[in-house]
């Protein structure tokens, strides 16, 4: 039914742009207000859709205008949204402050919290029929655990973006093929010893948990990853920074797209880096324009 199934969150991003982040108790004025579709699962699915992947999204939205906009936007970006479920709650909301190309985010999960095992289990056949399952941690943890096991047991490549950051249990580790944390999430995976370790050592420790590939994204410093037993670094692609919101999701979209086409990890990391560089030249998590033939 789809090469890539994305199971994850859908949010509406409410974006304010300021010169700096306010201090506690302080009120400052915003230069602008914008509303953009977001959520890690949503962003990653849209990145894949922009690249021309056969991608299907599983998730939940509220019975509100935000939910309708989120579903419509998925379809406009080439994502199969036929299995997005409406629930009796607000759609997920993210309040984002952008300042000098950086951002801070406050998240309300809303409908994403209804994406339970019982809700998703009727669509197990969709996960089993995919080449790749891509998921994150903005939906209930037990749902992620169930989906990764369902996919892994049926020979589907599993990709996990472990965000928000938290330690993982063995029922997750044994069913993940590729894990893509950022520098904060990377250290949270192996608390507390990771705070004293280099990225290469952290990657090796995670590989020992049966994960095939670890890709640690480092923003402007690019990423560190393993190719077999070798630790490598991919420099970030130089570009004009407008807004970093969703850059990690764009990276993951590019990486998973390449993997879905049978590319190796080196090519996949390079693909992710190029898509992320394009994204940060635009405001918002999804409003970037990309040539779907970029990797042809």
For 2-13, how does the pLDDT look when each residue is reduced to its tens digit (9 = 90+)? 999 999 999 998
Of 210, 242, 206, the C-alpha closest to 224 is 206
Instruction: Measure the CA–CA gap between 206 and 230, rounded to whole angstroms.
Output: 14
Domain boundaries, the chain: 4-18+33-279
Res. 293: pLDDT tops 90: no
Q: Tell me, what's the pLDDT at 244? A: 85
Mean pLDDT score, 157-169: 94
Q: Tell me, what's the pLDDT at 109? A: 94
Q: Tell me, what's the pLDDT at 89? A: 96
For 78-109, how does the pLDDT look when each residue is reduced to its tens digit (9 = 90+)? 999 999 999 999 999 988 898 887 878 888 99
Of 42, 38, 47, 37, the C-alpha closest to 290 is 47
State the average pLDDT for the chain: 93
Mean pLDDT score, 166-180: 94
Q: Tell me, what's the pLDDT at 45? A: 98
Q: Which of 18-22, 99-103, 132-136, 174-178 has the lowest mean pLDDT?
A: 99-103
Mean pLDDT score, 153-180: 95
Mean pLDDT score, 99-120: 91
Residue 129 DSSP symbol: T
Q: Which of 167-176, 189-198, 214-223, 259-268 has the lowest mean pLDDT?
A: 189-198
**Helix and strand counts by DSSP (H, E) for the chain:** 10, 14
Res. 284: pLDDT tops 90: no
Choices 3.40.50.1970, 3.30.1130.10, 3.40.1190.20, 3.10.450.50: CATH for 4-18+33-279: 3.40.1190.20
Phi, psi of 237 (to 5 degrees): -80, 125
- Beta strand 157-160 pairing with 132-135: parallel
Q: Which of 42-56, 149-163, 230-244 has the lowest mean pLDDT?
A: 230-244
Mean pLDDT score, 19-37: 91
Of 179, 163, 266, 189, the C-alpha closest to 214 is 179
Res. 52: pLDDT tops 70: yes
Q: Tell me, what's the pLDDT at 194? A: 64
Q: Tell me, what's the pLDDT at 193? A: 67
Task: Band the pLDDT of 49: cuts 50, 70, 90.
Answer: very high
pTM for this entry: 0.92
Per the CB < 8 A criterion, the answer to whether 47 and 254 are in contact is yes
Q: Which of the residues are catalytic? A: 249
Instruction: Measure the CA–CA gap between 216 and 173, rounded to whole angstroms.
Output: 16
Report percent pLDDT > 90 for the chain.
74
Q: Give the helix/strand (H/E) hosting 134.
A: strand 132-135
For 212-235, how does the pLDDT look when each residue is reduced to its tens digit (9 = 90+)? 999 999 998 999 999 999 999 999
């Amino acid at each position: 039914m789809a090469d890539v199934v994305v199971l994850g969150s859908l949010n509406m991003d409410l974006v304010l742009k300021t010169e700096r982040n306010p201090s506690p108790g302080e009120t400052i004025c915003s230069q602008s207000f914008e509303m953009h579709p977001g959520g890690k699962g949503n962003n990653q699915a849209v990145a894949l859709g922009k690249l021309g992947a056969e991608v299907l999204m599983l998730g939940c939205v509220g019975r509100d205008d935000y939910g309708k906009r989120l579903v419509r936007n998925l379809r406009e970006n080439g994502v199969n949204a036929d299995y997005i479920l409406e629930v009796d709650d607000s759609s997920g909301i993210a309040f984002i402050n952008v300042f000098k190309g950086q951002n801070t985010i406050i998240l309300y999960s809303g409908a994403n919290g209804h994406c339970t095992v019982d809700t998703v289990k009727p669509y197990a056949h969709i996960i089993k029929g995919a080449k790749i399952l891509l998921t994150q941690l903005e939906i209930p943890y037990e749902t992620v655990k169930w989906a990764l096991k369902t996919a892994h047991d049926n020979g589907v490549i599993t990709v996990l973006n472990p965000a928000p950051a938290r330690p993982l249990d063995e029922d997750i580790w044994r069913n993940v093929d590729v894990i893509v944390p950022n520098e904060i999430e990377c250290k949270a995976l192996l608390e507390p010893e990771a705070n004293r370790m280099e990225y290469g050592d952290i990657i090796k420790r995670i590989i020992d948990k049966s994960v095939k590939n670890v890709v640690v994204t480092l923003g402007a410093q690019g990423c560190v990853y393993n190719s077999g037993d070798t630790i490598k670094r991919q420099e970030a692609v130089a570009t004009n920074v407008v807004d970093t919101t969703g850059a990690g999701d764009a990276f993951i979209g590019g990486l998973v797209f390449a993997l879905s086409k049978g590319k190796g990890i080196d090519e996949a990391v390079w693909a992710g880096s190029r898509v992320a560089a394009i994204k940060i030249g635009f405001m918002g998590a999804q409003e970037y324009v990309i040539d779907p033939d970029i990797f042809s």
